[in-house]
């Protein structure tokens, strides 16, 4: 449990960049929909950008995300 906070695969400086966001979520999508990860990750990234609040995303709560 102590090691989990220090582990990261990718980091992002701009969550409004669709290509960067797609790269971040592709492995997660591939674990559920193998073979469709390229297509679905792009769609999910685009939808996520539309749902993000304008301006500073520091107030964005991940608790608002539902599957």
Q: Classify 51 as helix, strand or coil.
A: helix
Return the pLDDT at 41: 92
What are the tens digits of pLDDT across the range 6-43? 777 777 788 888 999 899 888 889 988 888 888 999 99
Q: Does residue 57 carry a pLDDT above 60?
A: no
Q: Classify 45 as helix, strand or coil.
A: helix
d(CA 5, CA 36): 30
Q: Classify 37 as helix, strand or coil.
A: helix
Residue recorded with tokens 């520091």: 58
Domain ranges (residues) in the chain: 14-53
pLDDT tier at 58, thresholds 50, 70, 90: low
- Rounded to two decimals, the pTM is 0.67
Return the pLDDT at 5: 78
């Amino acid at each position: 449990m102590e090691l989990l906070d220090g582990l990261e695969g990718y980091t992002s400086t701009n969550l409004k960049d669709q290509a960067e966001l797609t790269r971040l979520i592709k492995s997660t999508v591939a674990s559920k929909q193998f073979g469709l990860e390229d297509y679905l990750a792009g769609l999910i990234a685009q939808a996520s950008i539309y749902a993000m609040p304008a301006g500073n995303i520091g107030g964005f709560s991940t608790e608002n995300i539902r599957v």
